[in-house]
Amino acid sequence: MIIIGELINASRKAIGAAIKEKDEQAVRKVAADQAENGASFIDVNAGIFVDDEPDYLTWLVKNVQAVTDVPCAIDSPNPKAIEAALAVHKGAAPMINSISLEKDRWENLLPIVAGTDLKVVALCMSDDGMPQTVDDRMKIADKLVNGLLQKDVKLENIFIDPLVQPLSVNKEFGMQFLDTIEQITTQFAGIHTACGLSNISYGLPARKFINRAFMTIAIAKGLDGAIMNPMDKGMIAAITLGEALAGKDDFCMKYLKAFRAGLFE
Amino acid sequence: MIIIGELINASRKAIGAAIKEKDEQAVRKVAADQAENGASFIDVNAGIFVDDEPDYLTWLVKNVQAVTDVPCAIDSPNPKAIEAALAVHKGAAPMINSISLEKDRWENLLPIVAGTDLKVVALCMSDDGMPQTVDDRMKIADKLVNGLLQKDVKLENIFIDPLVQPLSVNKEFGMQFLDTIEQITTQFAGIHTACGLSNISYGLPARKFINRAFMTIAIAKGLDGAIMNPMDKGMIAAITLGEALAGKDDFCMKYLKAFRAGLFE
Strand order from edge to edge, sheet including B2-5? B192-193, B158-161, B119-123, B95-100, B72-75, B41-44, B2-5, B225-228
- What is the structure's pLDDT at A167? 96
Residue-level pLDDT at A64:
98
The Cα angle at residue A246 between residues A240 and A252, in degrees rounded to 5: 55
Quickly state the pLDDT bin for A229 (edges 50, 70, 90). very high
A182 CA: distance to closest CA in chain B (Å): 12
User: How much is the pLDDT for B91?
Assistant: 96
DSSP A10: T
Instruction: Give residue-wise pLDDT tens across range A24-56.
Output: 999 999 999 999 999 999 999 999 998 899 999
Strand, coil or helix: what is B83?
A: helix
Select from A178, A241, A252 the Cβ nearest to the Cβ of B209: A241
Residues forming beta bridges with residue A4, ordered by sequence position: A41, A227
* Helix or strand holding residue B227 (H, E): strand B225-228
A23: buried, middle or exposed (CB in 10 Å: 19+, 13-18, 0-12)?
middle
Evaluate whether ipTM surpasses 0.90: yes
SS3 track for B206-225: CHHHHHHHHHHHHHHHCCCE
pLDDT tens for each residue of A108-122: 999 999 999 999 999
Helices of type H across A103-206: 103-113, 134-150, 173-187
> Looking at residue B50, what is its pLDDT?
83
DSSP string, A34-59: HHHTT-SEEEEB-GGGGGGHHHHHHH
Mean of all residue pLDDT scores within chain A: 97
Nearest to A245 among B167, B237, B255 (CB): B167
Contact yes or no for B114/B108 (Cβ under 8 A): no
Residue type, A60: L
Q: What is the pLDDT of residue B265?
A: 85
- Residue of B186, B210, B245 to mutate for A, most A C-beta atoms under 10 A: B245
Taking CB atoms and an 8 Å cutoff, what residues of chain A touch B217?
216-217, 220, 242, 245
Helix (H) or strand (E) holding A96: strand A95-100
pLDDT (tens place) for every residue of chain B, 265 residues total: 999 999 999 999 999 999 999 999 999 999 999 999 999 999 999 999 988 999 999 999 999 999 999 999 999 999 999 999 999 999 999 999 999 999 999 999 999 999 999 999 999 999 998 898 999 999 999 999 999 999 999 999 999 999 999 999 999 999 999 999 999 999 999 999 999 999 999 999 999 999 999 999 999 999 999 999 999 999 999 999 999 999 999 999 999 999 999 999 8
Task: Tell me the per-residue pLDDT of A149-200, one tens digit each, with 9 for 90 and over.
Answer: 999 999 999 999 999 999 999 999 999 999 999 999 999 999 999 999 999 9
Verify whether the Cβ–Cβ distance A217 to B216 is below 8 Å. Answer: yes
A213 contacts B247? CB cut-off 8 A: no
8 Å CB contact of B244 and A210: yes
Find the CB nearest A174 among B200, B245, B265.
B245
Give the integer Cα–Cα distance in Å for B157 and B148: 10
Contacts of B264 in chain A (CB under 8 A): 205-206, 209
Domains of chain B, CATH where assigned: 2-260 (3.20.20.20)
Which residues share a beta bridge with B158?
B120
Partner-chain residue, chosen from A209, A216, A249, that has the shortest CB–CB distance to B217: A216
Rounded to 10°, the helix A103-113/A79-88 angle is: 20
- In angstroms, rounded to a whole number, what is the distance separating the alpha carbons of residues A40 and A133? 30
Overall residue count recorded for chain B in this entry: 265
Provide the pLDDT confidence category of residue A129 given band limits of 50, 70 and 90: confident
Contacts of residue B257 in chain A, CB cutoff 8 Å? Answer: none
